């Protein structure tokens, strides 16, 4: 016998070579391609030639009966005859399936069972997902576990954040707060290194809650040619569930800040229902908003107002009360940690002439203990009046002449003051105050501001959100325009323009306010700028009134009005009305929001598991906001039990002034991370951040069975994906994967009973069809 395999040449070349040798050597030839083998001999080739001749004869015969039958009948009869003869030809070559099967009890199969909290979700036949794991892998009458145990040495592992050996599936607690599929695969692979492994069975809902990529774990599996057979447990779609999908909050706010938070709610099974989103601050409800749920799968956004009235690290909860028959009530709550700072933010207000706007602006924020407006008003050439200064030296020489002096403020307000009042270096300093320092800049309309103040072509014009033609020179103010102020679409939802208890009430209140005036020619917003308020004059013409944009690290705002004090003193405004006060408090608080200090501390994650490492990051600059790479930076960590530990932070080299360190959390609770920086024994500054250690509820969000990652694992490693209803053949699939200690099994295909049954069926079908159409 001559054996021909398709290892080096194309299958077509070797097939013709096998036929040639069978014809002229008179010895049988074995042709093998992959798992299939064909025995080719002279007799089989002669029989094949006869079968081909019979096929040709059948075609000729049925073509000759045109007068006795329809074309369709002839085609059907010829096709049946051809299929029957092809089946005979198939048997003549004696095809054989050659497989490599794992030797019983000589190979290991690893079974990885998901022990995370999401396995508590009751969406598997009305039971918790974990019930499937316990029934299939611990019950003595489990067909799946028995089938695996009969063929392999089974090693059972549990996994959530890590993987570990498990004596019995009954020991599963389903309390893991994270699922890391990649770490589980790597752990099992390393545990079984050196053993003959036929495959890995991974049973999970596929919800990987870690940030790690599966790519590295799959590369390891493919390198060792380890197939992974995944079983997806759970429903691909929740029948009835409401989830708070996303909450956008700042990490740091000023005390008594009014938060306007976007809460995204998704649902299935409750379309059209109206629910209430409540905001809790340490158990106390501080805000509520109703939202109507849209169609299944579509998000709904609720804009919820809340007040951060208590200082310190505060845990805000955003909650929707569970509805009847809801499958996963645990995802109705989102928690976020906000550092509420009880500090006074210094704002420098420079005014070029005595006017009511400065007086009433200062009065509006007098009762705000977190805003300190330091005013500098020019009374004559080189003579200034100072209000709100903390020392006799502050602003003693007028407007700051050094960056260190100017950058000590968090925001800068420019009133009716012309560009010529500043030196060229001071104009550049103002632009750098926004760009590099990250401060907030507000220019208020007036006879000597904006284009009329000669700012065209200056660095300040580059920073402002309105286009000032560089050819524009200082000029007399434009004609007085009386404007009715209304918020734009963006202004209706912006926190700075909320002057009433709700968005609807705020929009109505804007329409009721008296007209105010502007003496500045209308300017066009820059392409990336956002207009929050518009003014409409008596002739119906609109112009931007409140415009802002991001400039470098900070924000620049232009308010083209000159007499917002009318909203306080106009005859139509009641004495107790707080609209003017609310407006300026909101504007100035927004202006200083997010302004960085010389040391900005943060943690890479807001929440970690107890025992998980916390990464601390800090951006360090000097008082002129130049990045420092040679500072000594230390984080003093205060643990929930009051213990203190120091963590050194090192310059990363990734970018200037960026430092990083790490510590391991212990008990659950809130950790205070105070970062101190010094340079050459001189103190640079400090910053503070907070991080929580505690079990996460991430396992209950997006609670459906994630088929995509499980299919990817199976497909890329050569395994297969199953559901609980299709695991019957799993053990056999692993056995014939060809991994571990194997033996060769041959299964002849040509003499299977199904071949005889099919041949008889084709012959009978041809005979019956011929009788039916009258051709017998």
pLDDT tens-place string over residues 139-158: 888 889 999 999 999 999 99
C-alpha distances in Å from residue 331, one per residue of 124, 234, 326? 18, 16, 10
pLDDT above 50: residue 1: no
Highest mean pLDDT among 80-84, 208-212, 728-732, 740-744: 728-732
pLDDT above 80: residue 204: yes
513: nearest Cα among 575, 564, 588: 564
- CB count in 10 Å sphere of residue 312: 14
Pairing of strands 383-387, 411-414: unpaired
What residues does 683 pair with on adjacent strands? 678
The pLDDT confidence band at residue 39, using thresholds 50, 70 and 90, is low
pLDDT above 50: residue 12: no
Please report where in the chains the tokens 């070797």 appear, as a residue.
14
C-alpha distances in Å from residue 240, one per residue of 278, 297, 398? 21, 11, 66
688: nearest Cα among 638, 624, 753, 759: 638
Mean pLDDT of 394-420: 95
CB 46 within 8 A of CB 28: no
pLDDT tens-place string over residues 526-547: 999 999 999 999 899 999 999 9
CB 470 within 8 A of CB 457: yes
Residue 31: per-residue pLDDT: 44
pLDDT tens-place string over residues 648-703: 999 999 999 999 999 999 999 999 999 999 998 899 999 999 999 998 888 999 99
350: nearest Cα among 367, 372, 373: 373
The fraction of the chain above a pLDDT of 70, given in percent, is 89
pLDDT above 80: residue 48: no
pTM score of the predicted model? 0.78
pLDDT tens-place string over residues 500-525: 888 889 999 999 999 999 999 999 99
Task: Output the DSSP codes for 618-678.
Answer: EEEB-TT--B-SS-EEEEEEEPTTS-EEEEEEEE-SSSTTEEEEEEE--SSEEEEEEEEEE
Least confident residue range of 51-60, 465-474, 740-749: 51-60
Q: Mean of the per-residue pLDDT values for the chain?
A: 87
pLDDT tens-place string over residues 305-318: 999 999 999 999 99
Mean pLDDT of 429-444: 97
The pLDDT confidence band at residue 13, using thresholds 50, 70 and 90, is very low
Residue 14: per-residue pLDDT: 41
pLDDT tens-place string over residues 145-200: 999 999 999 999 999 887 889 888 889 999 888 899 999 999 999 998 889 999 99
Strand order in the sheet with 284-292: 252-254, 333-341, 312-320, 274-281, 284-292
pLDDT above 70: residue 46: no
The token pair at 34 is: 């992959």
The pLDDT confidence band at residue 747, using thresholds 50, 70 and 90, is low
Pairing of strands 554-559, 440-444: parallel
The pLDDT confidence band at residue 98, using thresholds 50, 70 and 90, is low
Q: Where are the beta strands (DSSP E) in 363-491?
A: 371-380, 383-387, 411-414, 440-444, 466-467, 481-487
CB 70 within 8 A of CB 775: no
pLDDT above 60: residue 2: no
Cα 354 to Cα 359: distance, rounded to the nearest angstrom:
9
Mean pLDDT of 26-32: 47
C-alpha distances in Å from residue 358, one per residue of 351, 391, 397, 556, 574? 7, 21, 20, 19, 21
DSSP-assigned letter for residue 454: T
The token pair at 166 is: 């498990």
Phi, psi at residue 141, to the nearest 5°? -100, 20
Residue 26: per-residue pLDDT: 44
Mean pLDDT of 737-766: 76
Position with higher pLDDT, 676 vs 740: 676
């Amino acid at each position: 016998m001559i054996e021909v395999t398709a290892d080096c040449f194309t299958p077509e070349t070797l097939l013709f070579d096998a036929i040639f040798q069978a014809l002229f050597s008179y010895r049988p030839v074995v042709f093998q391609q992959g798992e299939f083998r064909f025995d080719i001999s002279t007799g089989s080739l002669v029989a094949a030639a006869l079968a081909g001749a019979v096929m040709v004869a059948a075609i000729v015969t049925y073509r000759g009966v045109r007068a006795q039958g329809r074309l369709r009948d002839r085609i059907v009869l010829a096709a049946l005859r051809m299929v029957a003869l092809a089946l005979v030809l198939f048997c003549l070559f004696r095809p054989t399936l050659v497989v490599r099967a794992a030797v019983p009890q000589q190979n290991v199969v690893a079974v990885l069972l998901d022990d995370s909290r999401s396995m508590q979700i009751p969406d598997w036949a009305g039971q918790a997902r974990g019930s499937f794991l316990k029934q299939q892998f611990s019950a003595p009458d489990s067909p799946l576990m028995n089938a695996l145990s009969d063929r392999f040495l089974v090693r059972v592992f549990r996994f959530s954040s890590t993987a570990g050996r498990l004596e019995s599936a009954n020991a599963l607690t389903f309390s893991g707060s994270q699922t890391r599929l990649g770490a589980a695969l790597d752990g099992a692979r390393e545990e079984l290194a050196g053993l003959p492994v036929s495959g890995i069975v991974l049973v999970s809902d596929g919800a990987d809650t870690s940030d790690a990529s599966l790519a590295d774990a799959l590369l390891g599996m493919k390198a060792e040619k380890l197939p992974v057979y995944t079983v997806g447990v759970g429903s691909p779609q929740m029948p009835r569930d409401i989830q708070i999908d996303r909450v956008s909050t700042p990490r740091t706010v000023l005390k008594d800040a009014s938060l306007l938070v976007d809460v995204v709610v998704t649902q299935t099974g409750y379309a059209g229902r109206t629910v209430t989103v409540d905001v809790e601050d340490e158990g106390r409800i501080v805000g509520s908003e109703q939202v109507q749920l849209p169609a299944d799968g579509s998000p709904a956004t609720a804009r919820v107002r809340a007040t951060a009235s208590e200082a310190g690290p505060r845990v805000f909860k955003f909650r929707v009360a569970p509805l009847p028959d809801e499958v996963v009530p645990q995802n109705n709550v989102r928690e976020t940690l906000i550092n509420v700072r009880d500090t006074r933010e210094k704002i420098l207000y420079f005014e070029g002439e005595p006017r009511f706007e400065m007086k009433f602006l200062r009065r509006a924020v007098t009762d705000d203990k977190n805003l300190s407006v330091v005013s500098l008003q020019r009374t004559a050439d080189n003579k200034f009046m100072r209000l709100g200064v903390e020392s006799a030296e502050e602003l003693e020489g007028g407007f700051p002449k050094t960056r260190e002096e100017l950058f000590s403020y968090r925001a800068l307000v420019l009133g009716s003051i012309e560009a010529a009042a500043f030196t060229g270096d001071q104009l550049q300093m103002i632009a750098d105050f926004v760009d590099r320092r990250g401060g907030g800049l507000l220019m208020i309309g007036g006879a000597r501001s904006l284009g009329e103040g000669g700012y065209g072509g200056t660095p300040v014009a580059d920073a402002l959100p309105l286009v000032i033609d560089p050819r524009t020179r200082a000029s007399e103010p434009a004609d007085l325009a009386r404007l009715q102020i209304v918020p734009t679409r963006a202004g209706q939802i912006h926190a700075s323009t909320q002057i009433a208890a709700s968005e609807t009430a705020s929009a109505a209140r804007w329409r009721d306010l008296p007209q105010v005036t502007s003496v500045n020619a209308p300017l066009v917003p820059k392409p990336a700028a956002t207009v929050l308020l518009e003014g409409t004059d008596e002739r119906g013409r609109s112009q931007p009134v409140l415009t802002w944009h991001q400039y470098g690290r900070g924000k620049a705002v232009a308010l083209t009005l000159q007499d917002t004090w009318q909203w306080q003193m106009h005859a139509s405004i009641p004495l107790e009305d707080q609209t003017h006060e609310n407006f300026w408090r909101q504007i100035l608080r927004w202006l200083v929001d997010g302004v960085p200090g010389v040391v900005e501390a943060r943690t890479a994650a807001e929440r970690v598991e107890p025992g998980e490492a916390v990464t601390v990051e800090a951006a360090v600059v000097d008082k002129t906001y130049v990045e420092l790479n040679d500072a000594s930076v230390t984080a003093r960590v205060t643990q929930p039990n009051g213990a203190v530990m120091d963590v050194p932070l090192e310059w990363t080299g990734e970018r200037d002034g960026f430092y990083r360190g790490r510590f391991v959390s212990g008990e659950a609770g809130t950790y205070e991370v105070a970062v101190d920086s010094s340079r050459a024994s001189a103190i640079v500054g400090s910053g503070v951040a907070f991080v929580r250690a505690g079990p996460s509820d991430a396992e209950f969000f997006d609670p459906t069975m994630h088929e995509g990652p499980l299919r990817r694992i199976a497909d890329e490693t050569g395994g297969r994906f199953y559901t609980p209803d299709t695991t019957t053949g799993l053990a056999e699939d692993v056995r014939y994967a060809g991994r571990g200690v194997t033996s060769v099994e041959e299964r002849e295909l040509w003499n299977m009973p199904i071949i005889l049954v099919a041949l008889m069926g084709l012959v009978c079908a041809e005979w019956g069809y011929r009788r039916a159409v009258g051709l017998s």
